[in-house]
Amino acid sequence: MANVTFDGVSKVFGDGTRAVDALDLEIHDGEFMVLVGPSGCGKTTALKMVAGLEEVSVGAIRIGERIVNDLTPKQRDIAMVFQSYALYPHLSVRDNIAFPLKLKKTRKDEIDRRVREAARILDLEPYLKRKPRSLSGGQRQRVAMGRAIVREPSVFLMDEPLSNLDAKLRVQMRADIKRLQSELEVTTIYVTHDQVEAMTMGHRVAVLRKGELQQVGPPEDLYQRPRNMFVGGFIGSPAMNMLAATVEQRNGTFEVVAGETRIEAGGEILATHPALASYEGREVVLGIRPEGLEDALLVDGSAGRPRLRGQAVLREALGAETLIHFSAAVRPAVTDEVRELAEDIGDDRAPALTGDVEAATLVGRFSSQSKIREGDAIDVAIDERALHYFDPSSGDAI
């Protein structure tokens, strides 16, 4: 049992790339901390530095009270589950799990006991004699976990352990891992690029981008109060719609204007986003989560609400709700963050985002009762309380 601290930790590779930049992060004892971010953000490098598989260039990493920078992996009392599972192909499941104990010269009966216990917890008892090559992906994953828990270490490190599994299995394993961790109460650092995994599993989630920590906190915090545009766009699926808007003052009240849509920035909004007033006459980025949009026909009193007019382009009926992609006469936000987020999901239409585009495609999460069909002209109601505002150049939340 121990906490893990990153103290101004940086990792610079031989060719000058900064994989991790001045990371300050404290992971509490027994906590399940998820490091999440797009590929190349430094999360795996950070994890490997805790493991001792990468050297720390600057700063200190502490496990418990010890600074561990100069310790070999085996001296740090940690266990790791690799993305590729890294099972020893020439050893049986039993020997794989027993391997670290044999190295520590644990007594044979103790080894037997611990291996049997781990096999029981992970439902591996029927497979103990088999070799890894005759196991399925899910079974191999559990063997990798067994090898980790049998050592009863201070810290668990997991590097995207579920990314090689199919979708259904992944959902189930998420629950299993989460349950296991709360039973064993071992400090766990879990790396993933899947924000859904991050949100469902972690006590706290740390979002990294290009080696820098963007925000850390409980999942709800990240969702409801993103500190910058990147976090806002990364967390939540479908992603937050990002629009270019300006702040104007009319008749003594502030309004946020996007296309022909005017949103009154009344008392409530100004109370929660006081700095908005100082952006008068300037551009801001308006973030609207899909769940903050609804079919205007289904909302009572929607006449008084700010609206978006547009045309439905794609309808995805999911049963419990309906996703509508629609185009509206508003300008999309075009910043580095937006481009990076688009690339991360494999959307290489990014070139279309450069330059001045007069219409954007937004996504809304509507009730399943909406009768909107593709091609319809639609009215979309906006929930003003669920809007986010960001500075276009710094990306920070306003």
Partner 1 sequence: MGATRKRGPQLRGLPFVLPYLPFLILFGIAPMVYALDLAFTDAGGGWVGVDNFTRTYNDFRFMPAMKHVLIYTTVWLGALMVFVVALALLLHGRASRASSTFRFLYYLPGALAGAAAVLVWLFMLDPTVSPASFLLHHVLGADFFAQSIAPGNLPYLFAMMAFWTGAGGWIVVMYGALNTIPPDLEQAARIDGANAIQIALRLKLPLIRKWIAYMLILSFATGTQLFVEPEIVQHASFGLVPDTWSANQLAYQLAFRFADFNGAAAIAVDLLAIGLIGAVVIVMRTGLFRADD
Partner 2 sequence: MRALGLGVRTAILLTFAVFFIAPVVWLLLAPTKSDEALITSSPFSFGDFDHVALAWKHLDAFSDHVYRRWITNTLYYALSATAITLVVSVPAGYGLALGNFPGRKLVLSATLVVMIMPAAALVLPIFLELNALHLIGSSLSIILPFAFFPFGVYLAYLYYATAIPRDLLDAARVDGCGELQTFLRVALPLAKPVVALVFFFSFVSDWNNFFLPYVMLADSNQYPITVGLSNLLSSTPSFNPSVGGGGQSVNIFKPELALATLLAVVPVAIVFVLSQRALVRGLVGGGVKE
Q: Which stretch binds partner 1 (CB under 8 A): 68-76, 148-156, 157-165, 385-393?
A: 68-76
Sheet holding 360-367, edge to edge: 293-295, 377-382, 307-317, 321-328, 360-367
Can you tell me the distance from the alpha carbon of 142 to that of 174, in angstroms, rounded to the nearest whole number?
Answer: 12
Query: Minimum CB separation from partner 1 for residue 306, in Å?
Result: 55
Q: Tell me which residues in 308-327 interact with partner 1 (CB under 8 A).
A: none
**Least CB distance to partner 2 at residue 145 (A):** 13
The CB-of-139 to partner 2 minimum distance in angstroms stands at: 17
CA angle 131–137–141, rounded 5-degree value: 80
Pairing relationship of beta strands 32-36 and 187-192 according to DSSP bridges: parallel
Nearer to partner 2, 83 or 200 (CB): 83
Q: Decide: is 14 part of the binding site for partner 1 (CB under 8 A).
A: no
**What whole-number distance in Å separates Cα of residue 84 and Cα of residue 162?**
9
User: Quick one: what does residue 71 bind among partner 2, partner 1, none, with the CB cut-off 5 to 8 Å set by partner type?
Assistant: partner 1
Binding piece for partner 2, criterion CB under 8 A, among 31-39, 73-81, 292-300, 318-326: 73-81
Query: How far is the C-alpha of 364 from the C-alpha of 291, rounded, in Å?
Result: 6
Q: Which residue from 58, 79, 73 is spatially nearest to 6, judged by alpha carbons?
A: 58
Q: In what order do the strands lie in the sheet with 204-209?
A: 78-81, 155-159, 187-192, 32-36, 204-209, 212-217
Per DSSP, helices labelled H in 273-383 are: 336-344
Q: Work out which of 25, 27, 41, 51 binds partner 2, going by CB under 8 A.
A: 51
Smallest CA-to-CA distance from 12 within 39, 49, 38 is with: 49
Select from partner 1, partner 2, none the partner in contact with residue 78, using the beta carbon and a kind-dependent cut-off of 5 to 8 Å: partner 2
- Pick from 30, 64, 73, 217 the residue near partner 2 by CB under 8 A: 73
CB of 202 to partner 2, least distance (A): 22
Please pick, from the candidates 16, 39, 65, 72, the single residue that binds partner 1 as defined by CB under 8 A: 72
Contact 341, 393 (CB under 8 A): no
Of positions 8, 17, 75, 218, contacts partner 1 by CB under 8 A: 75
Q: Is 317 exposed, middle or buried (0-12, 13-18, 19+ CB in 10 A)?
A: exposed
Q: For partner 2, what does the binding mask look like between residues 192 and 221, x meaning CB under 8 A?
A: ------------------------------
Residues contributing to the site for partner 2 (CB under 8 A)? 51-53, 72-74, 78-80, 82-84, 86-90, 99-100, 103-104, 147, 151
